[in-house]
Chain A
Amino acid sequence: MADSMAQAAPQDGGTRRDFLQLVTASFAAVGVGAMAWPFISSMNPARDVLALSTTEVDLTPIAAGSAVTVMWRGKPVFVRNRTPEEIKEARAVPLSELRDPQTDQARVKKDNWLVLVGVCTHLGCVPLGQKPTDPRGDYGGWFCPCHGSHYDTAGRIRKGPAPLNLAVPDYAFNGDAKITVG
Chain B
Amino acid sequence: MASGLHKSDVANPVLNWIDARLPVITMMQKEYGTFPTPRNFNYFWNFGALAMVNLLIMIATGIFLSMHYTAHTSMAFDSVERIMRDVNYGWLLRYAHANGASMFFIVVYTHIWRGLYYGSYKAPRELLWMLGVVIFLLMMATAFMGYVLPWGQMSFWGATVITNLFSALPLIGPDIVTFLWGGFSVDNPTLNRFFSLHYLMPFVIFGVVFLHVAALHITGSNNPLGIDPKGPQDTLPFHPYYTAKDSVGLVAYFAVFAILVFFFPNALGHPDNYIPANPLVTPPHIVPEWYFLPFYAILRAVPDKLGGVIMMFASIAILFVLPWLDTSPVRSMRFRPLARPFLFTWLVSFFVLLYCGGKPPEEPYVTISRVAAAYYFLYFLVILPLLGRLERPLPLPESIARPVLRGGGPVMAGAMSKPMEKA
Contacts and interface: CB of A to CB of B under 8 A. Distances in A.
B246 A4 contact: yes
Interface string A1-40: 1001101101110000000000010001000000001110
B82 interface: yes
Contacts of A44: 88
B86 A46 contact: yes
A4 B246 CA distance: 9
A8 B243 contact: yes
B89 A41 contact: yes
Interface string B236-248: 0001100110110
A42 B243 contact: no
Contacts of A12: 419, 421
Contacts of B88: 38, 41-42, 44, 46-47
B67 interface: yes
A8 B64 contact: no
A6 to B, nearest CB: 10
A176 interface: no
Contact of B87 (A24, A28, A42): A42
Nearest to A5: B247
B92 interface: yes
A48 interface: yes
Given A44-B88, A48-B82, A4 B247 contact: yes
B68 interface: yes
B422 A11 contact: yes
Interface in B217-249: 239-240, 243-244, 246-247
Contact of B423 (A7, A37, A38, A43): A7
A38 B247 contact: no
B253 to A, nearest CB: 10
B243 A47 contact: no
B240 A39 contact: no
A47 B85 contact: yes
Contacts, number: 65
A7 B64 contact: no
A136 to B, nearest CB: 40
B302 to A, nearest CB: 44
Contacts of A49: 86
Contacts of A4: 239, 243, 246-247
Binding site of A, secondary structure by majority: helix, strand, loop or mixed?
Answer: helix
Contacts of A39: 60-61, 64, 89, 93
Nearest to B418: A12
Given A1-B53, A11-B421, A12-B421, A42 B247 contact: no
B250 interface: yes
B240 A42 contact: no
Contacts of B239: 4, 7-8
Interface in A37-91: 37-39, 41-44, 46-49
Given A8-B239, A39-B60, A48 B244 contact: no
Interface in B52-79: 53, 60-61, 64, 67-68
Interface in B82-106: 82, 85-90, 92-93
A46 B90 contact: yes
B127 to A, nearest CB: 27
Contacts of B240: 7-8, 10
A46 B247 contact: no
A35 to B, nearest CB: 9
A181 to B, nearest CB: 22
Contacts of A5: 243, 247
Contacts of B85: 47-48
Nearest to B61: A39
9 contacts: A4-B239, A4-B246, A5-B247, A8-B239, A11-B422, A39-B93, A43-B67, A46-B68, A48-B85
8 cross-chain pairs, A with B, having the tightest CB-CB distances, nearest first: A38-B89, A4-B243, A46-B86, A48-B86, A41-B88, A47-B86, A46-B87, A10-B421
Interface of B: 53, 60-61, 64, 67-68, 82, 85-90, 92-93, 239-240, 243-244, 246-247, 250, 419, 421-423
